[in-house]
Structure 1
Amino acid sequence: MKFSLFYEMQISRPTRASEAEMFQRCLEQAVLADALGYHCIWAVEHHGLYEYSHSSAPEIFLSFVAAKTQRIRIGHGVTLLPHRYNHPIRIAERVATLDILSGGRVNWGSGKSSSAVEQHAFENDVRTLHEQWLEAVEMIPRMWSADVFSHEGRFFRIPPTQIVPKPVQSPHPPMFAACSKPDTAAAVGRLGLGALNFAFGTDDYLTQKVREYRAAVASAKPTGRVKNDHFACTPAALVLDDDRKACAYGLRGARFFLQSLERYYSGGDRPIGELPVARDFLPDDDLASAMALRSEDGSQLAAIVGDPAAARELVSRFADVGVDELILVMQMGTVPHEIIVESMKTFAEKVMPHFA
């Protein structure tokens, strides 16, 4: 089991000053994660998702992380591939450059975004987003391997061009794709890509999803030069010695994360301004009920919140269903920096060693 950290760059009621501070704090957390032995720092690419995600230039944040760390891997989770967001040549160039400068530490994930805010801001043809992504994700590993690259497709027509530089990992950085819908893990597996999943559902549901993904990978004709049989989940996480304090901050943060996500991805419109989501701590009765639900049969496997003993039990459930990597969402918009740091240390010292 690998343990990593996930960055949306969330912030509740941002100002320019608090937004700038948040970026510096996330960088501090990444440097600490390297020292504590976490596996990877994953950063998203989103545009215009006010409060939910301010990570619009992950290649710059990840470059800073690479420069200030020694061991931890550097993960794009994900870059947006439809060409109105990013031309595939530019993605190939940027990822290869980061791979060189980081000493071969890059993981590269891709996606297309189902947010109306992003789709319309970049004037995308929403009807063809998947096809644009698929064509681009097949092109980029060929750019990394060919001395001279050319392509004639539906969306891209590239004359013979020398795409430079090349990544240092051979044959190329591990490739992943976002699995934002329940039925997409197997589709990603059929392309031979690692799966980046939001954590939700019961143990039985997640077991079936992992099983379908493994079967798809086994028979895949990989999009890249090599299969990446790797199933990752992104649970909300906060682990402190004080179980109630961890749940108070962690469940508040998880609620902010989920409701903000739903507002942008399930509302069908383009929200502007402060989001109408809950930001307060849960009332005592609701908190007590939520804490009790963690270990009940059939409970949702979506968060790792509580003291180290509770966290070890929840991580064990993910391990039992076959998850390879937990990409922990500790940086949630309502959780203070000092609480995140305490959680990172507690998890690294009192949970990770049990799954070495």
Structure 2
Amino acid sequence: MKFSLFFEMQIAEPSRRTERELFHQCVEQAVLADRLGYHAVWAVEHHGLREYAHCSAPEVFLSYVAARTERVRIGHGVTLTPYRYNHPMRIAERVAMLDVLSDGRVNWGSGKSGSRTEQEAFESDIPALRDQWLEAQAMIPQMWTRDVFEWQGKFLNIPPTQVVPKPVQQPHPPMFAACTTPASTLEAGGLGLGVLNFAAGTKAELTKKVDDYRAAVAGAEPIGEVVTNHYACTPISIVLDDDRKACEFGFRGGRYFWRSQQEYYAYTNRPIGPLDADAGPLSDEELRTAMDGRHADDAPLTGVIGSPAACREQVQRFQDAGVDELILIMQLGTVPHEVTMTSIRTFAEKVMPWFA
């Protein structure tokens, strides 16, 4: 099993000062992950999702990380590919350039965005987003592999063009898709794409999702030049020697993460101003319930939180379900940087060796 870090760049109380501090802290966390042997660093692309995700230019962050690291893979998780967000040619160029400068360390994930804030800010044709995403998936690997690319499609028409540079990885970087439903997971598998999936559901439910994905991959008609048979989950994670302290930070951070996400994705409004997301600590009863719930047979696989021993048990459930990679969400809006750094180190030293 592979272990990576995931960056939304959350800030519970954003300001220009805290943004600056956060961006530099995320780089420091990524550099530490490289030194400790993590597999990859993944960064989102979001626009206007104040508090929840301030990572609006992942290509800049990932380029900076690539220059400061040596081994860790550099993951777009994900690039918004409908053309009102990013023209497919610009995506192909940026990803290839990053692959060249990182000496072939790029993983490329794509998505549509389910947030009305982003959809309306970019004046997207919302019913067409899925088809625009699919057209971009077909175009971009061809741009990476053909000397001369041309396209006559449903949304875009491109005359013969020499798209440069070409990526280092051949035939091109591994391709992934953001998947939030069983249907999107099956679609990704049928297209030969790896899956980036927020952790959710019981072990039995996750096992079925992974099995269904493997079956879809087995019959894939790859939209790229190669099949990426890879299932990744993104659990909330804080790992410290002190189990209770880890849970205090981890469950508080997880609650803020999910509630701030819901403000943008679960409702039809477009939030402006501070979010209605609880950033405060859990009560003693809430914390006790959360801690006890980790060990239930039917516990939802949404986190890797607690002491190293408790986290090894949680990781084992993901491994038993057939998951290939855990992309751990340790950077959370309510968790201090020094706690995140300790968590990154503790996981690498006291959990990772049991599985990697």
Q: Which residue of 2 aligns with 1:251?
A: 251
Q: Which residue of 2 aligns with 1:12?
A: 12
What CA distance in whole angstroms lies between the structure 2 residues aligned with 1:127 and 1:32?
42
Matches within 5 A, 1:83-94: 83-94=83-94
Moved over 6 A (4+): none
Q: Which residue of 1 aligns with 2:208?
A: 208
1:183 Cα deviation after fit: 2.7
SS of 2:79 mapped into structure 1: strand
Count how many residue pairs are aligned between Structure 1 and Structure 2.
356
Q: Which residue of 2 aligns with 1:235?
A: 235
What CA distance in whole angstroms lies between the structure 2 residues aligned with 1:314 and 1:153?
46
Worse-superposed segment, 145-154 or 176-185: 176-185
What CA distance in whole angstroms lies between the structure 1 residues aligned with 2:182 and 2:330?
23
Q: Which residue of 2 aligns with 1:146?
A: 146
1:249 Cα deviation after fit: 0.3
The one-letter code sitting in structure 2 at the alignment partner of 1:218 is A
SS of 1:84 mapped into structure 2: coil
Q: Which residue of 1 aligns with 2:124?
A: 124
Q: Is residue 99 from structure 1 mapped to residue 104 from structure 2 by the alignment?
A: no
Deviations 1:222-260 (A, max 9, x none): 010000000000000000000000000000000000001
1:182 Cα deviation after fit: 3.6
In structure 1, runs of 5+ residues without a counterpart are none
Q: Is residue 178 from structure 1 mapped to residue 178 from structure 2 by the alignment?
A: yes
SS of 1:114 mapped into structure 2: coil
What CA distance in whole angstroms lies between the structure 2 residues aligned with 1:52 and 1:24?
18
What CA distance in whole angstroms lies between the structure 2 residues aligned with 1:103 and 1:70?
9
1:268 Cα deviation after fit: 1.1
Q: Which residue of 2 aligns with 1:280?
A: 280
What CA distance in whole angstroms lies between the structure 2 residues aligned with 1:58 and 1:122?
17
Deviations 1:199-238 (A, max 9, x none): 0000111000001100000000101000000000000000
Deviations 1:62-115 (A, max 9, x none): 000000000000000000011100000000000000000000000000001010
The one-letter code sitting in structure 2 at the alignment partner of 1:68 is R
Matches within 5 A, 1:1-356: 1-356=1-356
RMSD of Structure 2 on Structure 1 (CA): 0.5
What CA distance in whole angstroms lies between the structure 1 residues aligned with 2:332 and 2:180?
19
The one-letter code sitting in structure 2 at the alignment partner of 1:308 is P
What CA distance in whole angstroms lies between the structure 1 residues aligned with 2:248 and 2:350?
20
TM-score under structure 1 length normalisation: 0.99
SS of 2:27 mapped into structure 1: helix
Deviations 1:237-287 (A, max 9, x none): 000000000000000000000001111001111001110111111001110
Q: How many percent of aligned residue pairs carry the same amino acid?
A: 63
SS of 2:12 mapped into structure 1: coil
SS of 1:277 mapped into structure 2: coil
What CA distance in whole angstroms lies between the structure 1 residues aligned with 2:345 and 2:208?
33
What CA distance in whole angstroms lies between the structure 2 residues aligned with 1:189 and 1:197?
13
The one-letter code sitting in structure 2 at the alignment partner of 1:142 is Q
SS of 1:183 mapped into structure 2: helix
What CA distance in whole angstroms lies between the structure 1 residues aligned with 2:111 and 2:279?
29
What CA distance in whole angstroms lies between the structure 1 residues aligned with 2:320 and 2:70?
31
Worse-superposed segment, 183-192 or 3-12: 183-192
1:184 Cα deviation after fit: 1.4
